[in-house]
Structure 1
Amino acid sequence: MADVVFDQASRVYTAGAKPAVDRLDLEIADGEFVVLVGPSGSGKSTALRMLAGLEEIDGGEIRIGGRTMVGVPSRDRDIAMVFQNYALYPNKTVGENMAFPLKMRGVEKSVQQEKVRAAADVLGLTDFLDRKPKALSGGQRQRVAMGRAIVREPQVFLMDEPLSNLDAKMRVSTRTEIAAMQRRLGVTTVYVTHDQVEAMTMGDRVALLADGRLQQFATPADLYDKPANRFVAGFIGSPAMNLFTLPVSAEGVHIGSSELRLPREVRGRISADTVTLGIRPEQWAVANGRGTAGGGADGVGGDGAGSGVKAQIDVVEELGSDAYLYAHLDDEEQTPVVVRTGGRTGARRGDQVVLTPTSEDLHLFDAESGERL
């Protein structure tokens, strides 16, 4: 096992073009499970392939266990990679597929069998060792691919969207199995996905990339509670954070046809004429349009709350324990807003409501740079 360091690592496919990975700095601790996440084209898979030795490093360096990987071929890096495609041999049994990398290294057959049995026990595959891949489910096949990596006992596991071929229910169960397996084995793991739910539920820390650059590297809780910039705020969370670029007033901000007053300490962080305000769907207090949305101890009412923000509901999604209200504000642009409430609220399309955020949940970003204030 070993730590992994990206030190200003870059990858440029075409001279003069924008780097696919631009001066990436990451320090991954020994035994840590780190997820690289981001939209398509963000550079996450390229970064993983650089670590694996499948892509050249055009600037900076990558180190595994303190040893630089510049110029080191993939086969000499002591890593094991699990791809989206299982790449199993259909004519071999599960046990033979798992033992294949050891066989190619010339490992004694008794040692092969011992390692395969140990990996099968970890992955719950002991009863399937004599089956062919065609007799397995998609999740079981992915576990076989992982078992083939485990028997090698590498310093680092690399996983490139291994759950993409699974259905939604299987993805949930398999991601739980992968996270539990990694914690039992204690092997440093770098996992790539475009699914922010996977990233938030699996990783000890998450590195969010966009346009080849690292946006934030933090625990899932910190990414959610303290996004470093507007991009992180909008990417992490489902549904996404509500983001509004608003004119600043003496007491707070103008939103819709209302003035949203902010606590003095919050208002004091704003120096420009406009600001981007972020409020997560679950961080709204909702009242019907005939009354006012109260703040109380949890509201904006520390310095005297306004009457809240008027909105009209367009769609209600009932999810049982929760409901999502998709609405628009009472302004010329009919700015969309998403609200998460308890289930069976009785809200209906066309209802007028008043929304009030709570002060501790406000996120402010510079309207120009997008950086957190």
Structure 2
Amino acid sequence: MAEISYKEASCVYEGADKLAVDSLSLDIEDGEFVVLVGPSGSGKSTALRMLAGLEDIDGGNISINGKDMAGVPSKDRDIAMVFQNYALYPNKTVGENMGFALKMRGVPVEERKRKVAEAAKVLDLTEYLDRKPGKLSGGQRQRVAMGRAIVREPQVFCMDEPLSNLDAKLRVQTRTQIAALQRRLGTTTVYVTHDQVEAMTMGDRVAVLKFGQLQQFSSPTELYDRPVNAFVAGFIGSPAMNLFVTPVVSGGVNIAGTTVPLPRESMNQIAAAGLETVTVGVRPEQLELRRDGAGFGVVVELIEELGSESYVYARNSGPAITGLDSAPVTFVARSATRSPAKLAETATMTVREGATIHLFHPATGARIGD
């Protein structure tokens, strides 16, 4: 097993004017499942490739079990990679694909067969060992790629968006299998994805990156409950948190003429920062669509029926409420009832009593208060 440490690790591509990974610092514990997540271009795959020795470290360092990886070839790091592309040999059977790396190492035939059989049993691939990859489904091929990594018994698994080629149902099924398998094996795993739902459901801890810089490294619940800035707040959660800029008034904030009260401590922190406006964040489950006139007026634009719940997308019926980019905000509210409204219906929306209201600096995006 292995502990991994990024210390101010940086990487810049030749000809680029910005760092792909900018002073990344992470301490990953032995046996931990850590997910790197962020939008395209955030540096998450580059950070993983730096760990695997596939990209140079241009600043800082990365260590595995206290050993600096600078100058250590990829083949000597005892790391197994699983890529988005399965990269299986089409002319070899499942068993031959899984045992190929062991064969190249000169591992005896009987030992190879034993390790392949053990991995196949774990991955439910035993009956497919004599098949060629072309006769397998996408999920089965991905499990073969996982098996090829497992038989090596590495100290670290590196997974770069391994589920991107699968359809929605297979993604859910396979991510569950990968997470359960990692818990069973206890191998330190660094997993890259752009899908924040995947990150939240799989990782012990999640590192959110933006433009090569670490924004927050916390447990999934901490990311959801206490995002450190407006970017993390808007990125984590599906649908995303409602984020909008609104004036500060006596006792709270003003949302389209309706005062939403804030705790005295929050008001003191806003006053200490000298702010007249603040970025407010409210999760969809904390907003409520009403017909009794309470709250601010909205016009329903879209309703997503999910069976057990519905999501209502609505635009303010008065002057536009703007978000972080000064564009009008479409509010999203979760409803436990089916068909809570009709398209183009005029209704009111309010913040539920006792709801958690997140506050961020309108210029820097930094969280205000605890």
Query: Residue 285 of structure 1: which of 269, 272, 288 is its match?
Result: 288
Tell me what 2:363 maps to. 368
Distance in structure 2 (CA, Å) of the matches to 1:233 and 1:120 = 40
How much does 1:59 deviate? 0.3
Whether the 8 Å contact between 1:206 and 1:220 is mirrored in structure 2 is yes
CA distance 1:237–1:68, shift in 2 (3 Å): same
Distance in structure 2 (CA, Å) of the matches to 1:212 and 1:117 = 41
Whether the 8 Å contact between 2:3 and 2:30 is mirrored in structure 1 is yes
Tell me what 1:298 maps to. none
Letter of the structure 1 residue corresponding to residue 330 of structure 2: P
Tell me what 2:209 maps to. 209
Whether the 8 Å contact between 1:44 and 1:209 is mirrored in structure 2 is yes
How much does 1:291 deviate? 4.1
Local SS of the residue matching 1:17: coil
Whether the 8 Å contact between 1:52 and 1:158 is mirrored in structure 2 is yes
Moved more, 276-285 or 209-218: 276-285
Local SS of the residue matching 1:55: coil
Q: Is 1:119 paired with 2:119?
A: yes
Tell me what 1:36 maps to. 36
Unaligned runs of 5+ in 2: 322-328
Distance in structure 2 (CA, Å) of the matches to 1:148 and 1:136 = 15
Letter of the structure 2 residue corresponding to residue 333 of structure 1: A
Local SS of the residue matching 1:103: helix
Query: Residue 276 of structure 2: which of 270, 273, 277 is its match?
Result: 273
Distance in structure 1 (CA, Å) of the matches to 2:352 and 2:85 = 45
Letter of the structure 2 residue corresponding to residue 123 of structure 1: L
How much does 1:16 deviate? 7.4
Local SS of the residue matching 1:25: strand
Tell me what 2:149 maps to. 149
How much does 1:360 deviate? 4.4
Local SS of the residue matching 2:215: strand
Tell me what 2:351 maps to. 356
Tell me what 1:321 maps to. 308
Tell me what 2:331 maps to. 337
Distance in structure 1 (CA, Å) of the matches to 2:178 and 2:258 = 48
C-alpha distance after superposition, 1:200-236 (max 9, x if no partner): 0000000000000000000000000000100000000
Moved more, 77-86 or 252-261: 252-261
Whether the 8 Å contact between 2:289 and 2:348 is mirrored in structure 1 is yes
CA distance 1:55–1:234, shift in 2 (3 Å): same
Distance in structure 1 (CA, Å) of the matches to 2:353 and 2:83 = 43
Distance in structure 2 (CA, Å) of the matches to 1:16 and 1:53 = 20
Whether the 8 Å contact between 2:297 and 2:346 is mirrored in structure 1 is no
C-alpha distance after superposition, 1:323-350 (max 9, x if no partner): 0111112431264211011131441121
Tell me what 2:325 maps to. none
Local SS of the residue matching 1:248: strand
Whether the 8 Å contact between 2:310 and 2:340 is mirrored in structure 1 is no
Moved more, 359-368 or 270-279: 359-368
How much does 1:358 deviate? 3.8
Distance in structure 2 (CA, Å) of the matches to 1:309 and 1:352 = 8
Moved more, 336-345 or 99-108: 336-345
How much does 1:274 deviate? 1.1
Distance in structure 2 (CA, Å) of the matches to 1:129 and 1:323 = 44
C-alpha distance after superposition, 1:138-188 (max 9, x if no partner): 000000011000000000000000001111111000000000000000000
Q: What is the RMSD of the two structures over their aligned residues, measured on CA atoms?
A: 1.3
Instruction: Give TM-score scaled by structure 1 length.
Output: 0.93
How much does 1:264 deviate? 2.0
CA distance 1:16–1:130, shift in 2 (3 Å): closer
C-alpha distance after superposition, 1:270-290 (max 9, x if no partner): 1211110000101113321x3
Tell me what 2:62 maps to. 62
Q: How does 1:153-168 map to 2 (within 5 A)?
A: 153-168=153-168
Q: Percent identity?
A: 62
Tell me what 1:303 maps to. none
Instruction: Give TM-score scaled by structure 2 length.
Output: 0.94
C-alpha distance after superposition, 1:50-72 (max 9, x if no partner): 00000000000000111110010
How much does 1:319 deviate? 1.3
Tell me what 2:243 maps to. 243
C-alpha distance after superposition, 1:101-140 (max 9, x if no partner): 0000000001000100111111111111111111111000
Local SS of the residue matching 1:269: helix
| Number of equivalenced pairs | 357
Whether the 8 Å contact between 2:289 and 2:347 is mirrored in structure 1 is no
Q: Is 1:347 paired with 2:341?
A: yes
